[in-house]
Amino acid sequence: MAPVRPAFLSLLLVVLPTAVAAADSTLSDAQQAQLEALRGEIAAQIQLQAYDLLDELVFGWTEQPVFALETPLVLADVSVPVGFGSGMQALIENHFAALIVKNPRTRVALTHCPQCTAVVVHSGARGTIVSRGVDEPEALSTAGTLSGSRHALFLDFEVEGSALVLRARITRLEPTLPILYAKTLSTSTSAPALLRSGDRLKSAAEAHQEYVDALRGRGLYLVPIRIGVRTYATGSAQVKATPFPWLQVGVEGSLSQARSWMGSFSVGFSWAPELHTGWLAQGRVSRLISGSASSLTGPDLYAFVGGSVISIHGQSALAFQDQIPDLDDLLGLLAGREPDATFGAFQLGLELRIKNRIGAGVFLESLPAMGDAPAIGDYLDLGLIQFHSLGVEVSFCF
Amino acid sequence: METLLIMLLMPLPVFMGRAYDPSPGIFQSKEEARNLECTRLSQAEAHERFPGQVPEPPARGTWAVTDALACTRRFMRSGERPARDEVILSSLRQTVGDITQTASALEAGELTWHVDAFYPEPAVAAKISVAARTELVERGRKVSDRVPVLAAGDIAVLWQLPPKRAYPLACARYFAQGVLTERDVFLGVMIVDARETRLHAGLCVRGEWKWLQ
Amino acid sequence: MLSSGCVTVYQPLVSLQRPVVVDPRIANFEGQRMLVRCIPGDYLQPDDAEQLCRNVRALFTNQGAQVEVEVPRAGTSARDEQGGAKADLIIDLKARLVHEENSALLWTLSGLTFTLIPAITEFTFAQEVTIRDASGFQLASDTLQGRFVRYCGVGLWAVNSALDLLVRSEAEELTGDAPNKDFSRDFHGQLSQLAFNARMRSWVLRGFEESPRAQERLPSK
């Protein structure tokens, strides 16, 4: 089978002039409902990104204020992306007002001017003009409703591909409406949410650095402590292997901060009074299956495969023999002869991790050497491989 | 049965490795894939932009994968906005940047700039003119938020004319009526055919109209 | 026979999935003379370039244009200049390979498992489109990027064929010539839109005067 020849757009092209037409855009009710749901989901993302852009705008004003002295400012208009409803407008206004209150260094005082945003009718030399107050400051001035506010702020949000763009401008409310200040800010399509708090704003670069530091703070290596129990399926014999408690300590490493692949090595110890002492050495490879990178805030689900060598000393080791314990074995025990069993095992399991600190896992274990052990049965038989043991564990990582 | 299960499990590691491939497949529809904007980045650049997902490139180089495909979902899914509006709005920064750059280069004096957009959809027209005004201010121009308005009679006449005559005539009327003076310059941004997705622009200076693009 | 067990998936990356307004089924370029130049390179062999040009000629001819095609070879530029002087629009198409992935290890594994583990090859290409007028003034340009991923494996092919047959709508089908059709639709759509935008720009910059050669009706507002 030859690999695809990486070329020739020409060969892939099909002459299909009739198929190139613009697609029909009639939507069924179900599609419409789905679209509405998606729109809601997207609006939530846009709102967060809009907050980010407002934070960045206000941070800019704290660093380089637009006005030399504290100046009253009217929030004249907030326009949302074309295709979006106006529900977002109120949220943006509230967030912006909160930012201004928390950051007096902006030298801006938001003032209330209902006439500025209302439609006014103004008759003058040029005839009768119907417009918003901010677009006809003469009308407001004549009516004496400017109430000291001589500057209007316009915030315009627009979706441009996968970026949200904020265009802010401040206009002086005088007949020529000169624009004193204008700024375009765009969400970087890749930057993580900046998560700045309103009263301690940071620049985008600082916030990015904080994020990188937070990632680095997690480190690539962890020390997991696992506490678990393994149970064994009952075999054909009347003898049953008791559940084994295990305490494991090891080291776990990942190639990148994404933690999409992890490897670990641990040693374990098990003890039950009068029954056994056990040792274990285990290696594991885990793959993140709940996303492409581990989450800083939510749980992560990993699938893992592993291999272990287990050594059991004491009465419990009798269950791992090829034969049913007989009188000789019991006499040997009475004579102080301690049975032991050493065998290999392969695990397949799932682990749920929270912030790479606490985890809970469940796994199936195959003991290839125990195929003939009458005391050990199997939970799952896949023909080529049988799983004899079922385990659960909790982990704490340091 | 078991053999079948094993056969099904065999390709699993390969698929897990490609679980987040953005191309269409069993778990991702073509439509979803088309709503992504993807770019290929070098590993170093990808690590800089996505430090949580892409590891730092090894100092001594490697034989393994050294680049990344970074995909971001578009906010507006295909078909949510009319096609022309979507194209115009998605490329607004670039288009308006090109137009204002050309316009600024042509008229570099101490003039007051006025901007208006002529587009069938008023909401999109407003976005275009806001973008152009903002961009001009950022380029250091003196810009007014006031849109020059002609008398109703003028507008009624201009409405009937083809673009070839309408814009130059409107420009002359602005100047004749004193809406624009010698110290003003008017930048008009528009489309002239319903089938195009690229904006045109023209400048009105001292009563003379000049097409920019 | 062997390639029938493969599924090729097309994914538009940059600009190819952009909405198109112009309808390539109607005469958008009536009376226009076009010169389409498919420039061979490392990625586009001369034979493939010729086929690409023939294909694009069909696209624009269907829209009413008179199209000449040219595949420039090393050391031949005379026809270039002559053809360019006569054309209203000169469209240059240049392709390059942005990325390629083809693991020998995966092919080996695939062979050992009788393709139960699929072999995967992928490549990302960039198609550069530049449109100029007869004087050489650049009217439009764009870079279209897409990606093809080819999975070769009997299991995967069977699953996808079954899904196409039973579950997926026609527009969502992955097997058969679906990738070719999807790519063609995108490429032809973008090329038509770019050419139309270029044509309008040229018309506007000439003060809405048609070039002496073009006889088509003027579009009205």
A164-188 residue pLDDT tens: 999 999 999 888 889 999 999 988 6
Of all helices (H) and strands (E), which one includes residue B171? helix B163-176
Determine which of A3-12, A183-192, B104-113, C167-176 has the lowest per-residue pLDDT on average. Answer: A3-12
DSSP state of A376: B
Handedness of CA C34, C39, C43, C46 (dihedral sign): positive
Q: b/e map of C106-123 (b: 16 or more CB within 10 Å)? A: bbebbeeeebbbbbbbbb
Q: Are residues B129 and B165 in the same domain?
A: yes
ipTM: 0.88
Question: Is the pLDDT assigned to residue C79 strictly greater than 60?
Answer: no
Nearest CA in chain B to C219: B193
pLDDT per residue over C147-159, tens digit each? 999 999 888 888 8
Give A360 or A318, the one with higher predicted confidence: A360
Higher pLDDT, A21 or C32: C32
Question: Is A119 within 8 Å of A156 (Cβ atoms)?
Answer: no
Predicted local confidence at residue A3, as pLDDT? 42
Average pLDDT for A330-347 = 79
Strand partners, A229: A245, A392
**C146–B contact, CB cutoff 8 A:** no
Chain B (32-61) residues lying within 8 Å, Cβ to Cβ, of chain C: 33-34, 37-40
pLDDT given for residue A189 in this prediction:
46
Check C55 against A15: CB less than 8 A apart: yes
Instruction: Please tell me if residue C172 touches chain B, with a CB cutoff of 8 Å.
Output: yes
Residues of chain A found within 8 Å of residue C113, distances taken between Cβ atoms: none
* Chain A residues 118-177 with a CB less than 8 Å from chain B: 127, 135, 154, 156, 158-162, 164-165, 167-169, 171, 175-177
> Which structural domain, as residue segments, surrounds residue B7?
2-73
**Cβ A7–C45 below 8 Å, yes or no?**
yes
Whether A155 shows a pLDDT value over 50: the answer reads yes
Residues of B numbered 105-164 whose beta carbons fall under 8 angstroms of chain C's beta carbons: which are they?
A: 162-164
Q: What percent of chain A has pLDDT over 70?
A: 73
CB of C154 within 8 Å of a chain B CB? The answer is no
- Residue C143 forms beta bridges with which residues? C128
Cβ separation of A9 and C185 shorter than 8 Å? Answer: no
What is chain A's length?
398
* Shared-domain flag, residues B90 and B187: yes
Of B29, B45, B73, the last residue of a domain is: B73
Name the least confident of A292-296, B75-79, C8-12: A292-296
Rg of chain B over all Cα atoms, to the nearest angstrom: 26
Cβ atoms of C217 and C30 within 8 Å: the answer is yes
Model pLDDT for residues C125-134, shown as the tens digit of each residue? 999 999 999 8
**In terms of Cα–Cα distance, which of A104, A101, A106 is closest to A56?**
A106
Structural domain spans, chain C: 2-205
User: Which of B14, B46, B73 is the last residue in one of the domains?
Assistant: B73
To the nearest 10 degrees (0 to 180), the angle between helices B122-138 and B83-90 is 10
Please answer yes or no on whether C117 and B11 come within 8 Å at the CB atom: yes
What would the 3-class secondary structure string for chain C be? CHHHHEEEEEEEEECCCCCCCCCCCCCCCCCCEEEEEEECCCCCCHHHHHHHHHHHHHHHHCCCCEEEEECCCCCCCHHHHHHHHHCCEEEEEEEEEEEEEECHHHHHHHHHCCCCCCEEEEEEEEEEEEEECCCCCEEEEEEEEEEEEEEECHHHHHHHHHHHHHCCCHHHCCCCCHHHHHHHHHHHHHHHHHHHHHHHHHHHHCCCCCCCCCCCCCCCC
Among candidate residues A174, A198, A233, the one with its CA nearest the CA of residue A388: A233
The owner of tokens 């529900």 is A87
| A chain contacts of residue C53, beta-carbon cutoff 8 Å | 10
Whether the per-residue pLDDT at C27 is higher than 80: the answer is yes
Across the range A273-286, mean pLDDT stands at 90
Length of chain B: 213
More confident residue, A8 or A353: A353
Q: What's the confidence (pLDDT) of residue A365?
A: 92
Domain boundary among B16, B47, B73: B73
Alpha-carbon distance of C54 to C45, in angstroms, equals 14
Question: Residue A25: what pLDDT?
Answer: 47
Instruction: Look at domain C2-205 and name its CATH class.
Output: alpha beta
The Cα of C9 is separated from the nearest Cα of chain A by a number of Å equal to 12
* C174·B24 Cβ contact <8 A: yes
Model confidence at C58: pLDDT above 90: yes
Enclosing H/E stretch for A186: strand A179-186
Confidence (pLDDT) at C78: 45
Residue C156 zone, left/alpha/beta (φ > 0; ψ -120 to 50; rest): alpha
Nearest-Cα residue of chain A relative to residue B73: A162
| Interchain proximity B143–A287, CB inside 8 Å | no
Neighbour subunits, A (≥3 Cβ pairs < 8 A): B, C
According to DSSP, the β-strands at C89-102 and C33-39 are parallel
Contact call for residues C17 and C42 (beta carbons, < 8 A): no
Token pair of C146, please?
A: 């897409």
Chain C residues touching A4 at Cβ < 8 A: 6, 8, 121, 123, 148, 150
Using CB atoms, pick whichever of C59, C121, C125 lies closest to residue A17: C59
Taking 50 as the pLDDT cut, the residues of chain B under it are none
Q: Give A23-38 as a 3 state SS string.
A: CCCCCCHHHHHHHHHH
Confidence tier at A247 by pLDDT (50, 70, 90): very high
Q: Are residues B91 and B135 in the same domain?
A: yes
Which pLDDT band holds residue A126 (cuts at 50, 70, 90)? Answer: low
Average pLDDT over residues C111-137: 89
Same domain, B87 and B67: no
For residue B153, the domain's CATH number is: 3.40.50
Looking at the predicted structure, is the pLDDT value of residue A240 above 80? no
Condensed to tens digits (0 to 9), the pLDDT of residues B65-104 reads: 678 888 888 888 888 899 999 999 999 999 999 999 999 8
pLDDT category of residue A216 using cuts at 50, 70 and 90: low
Contact between B144 and A177 (Cβ < 8 Å)? yes
Interchain CB distance below 8 Å, B134 and A169: yes
pLDDT for the residue numbered A19? 43
- The answer on B52 and B8 residing in a single domain is yes
B87 shares its domain with B53: no
Do both B28 and B50 map to the same domain? yes
CA distances from A162 to A80, A295, B157 (A): 15, 22, 41
B91 shares a domain with B66: no
Query: Above 60 in pLDDT, residue A195?
Result: no
Q: Could you tell me if residue B78 is inside a domain?
A: no
List the subunits that have 3+ CB pairs under 8 angstroms with C: A, B
pLDDT at residue C206 tops 50: yes
The Cα A162–Cα A189 span in angstroms is 6
Q: B133 with B202, same domain?
A: yes
Q: What percent of chain C has pLDDT over 70?
A: 88
- Distance (Å, whole) CA C77 – CA B156: 53
CB of B64 closer than 8 Å to CB of B57: no
Q: Give the domains, in start order, of chain A with CATH numbers.
A: 35-111+149-213 (3.40.50), 113-146 (no CATH), 219-397 (2.40.160.20)
Averaged over C184-197, what is the pLDDT? 94
pLDDT at A39 over 70: no
- Across the interface, of B83, B194, B213, the residue whose CB is closest to C201 is B213
Q: Rounded mean pLDDT of A98-126?
A: 80
Please check whether residue A350 touches B, CB under 8 A: no
B187 and B115 housed in the same domain: yes
Exposure on the CB side of residue B184, measured as CA atoms within 13 A: 22
pLDDT for residue A190: 45
pLDDT at A15 over 80: no
Residue C144 pLDDT > 70, yes or no? Answer: yes
Nearest one of C47, C90, C127, C54 to A9, comparing CA atoms: C127
> In this structure, are residues C85 and C30 in contact, taking their beta carbons and an 8 Å threshold?
no
End-to-end CA distance of chain B: 68
Q: Which residues of A173-203 are buried (b: 16+ CB within 10 A; e: fewer)?
A: beeebbbebbbbbbbebbbbebbbebeebbe
Give the tokens for residue A110. Answer: 């938001």
Q: Are residues B133 and B63 in the same domain?
A: no
For A91-111, the pLDDT digits (tens) are 899 999 999 999 888 898 888
**Residue A193 pLDDT > 70, yes or no?**
no
Query: Do B63 and B103 fall within a single domain?
Result: no
- Of all residues in chain C, the one with the smallest CA distance to A7 is C43
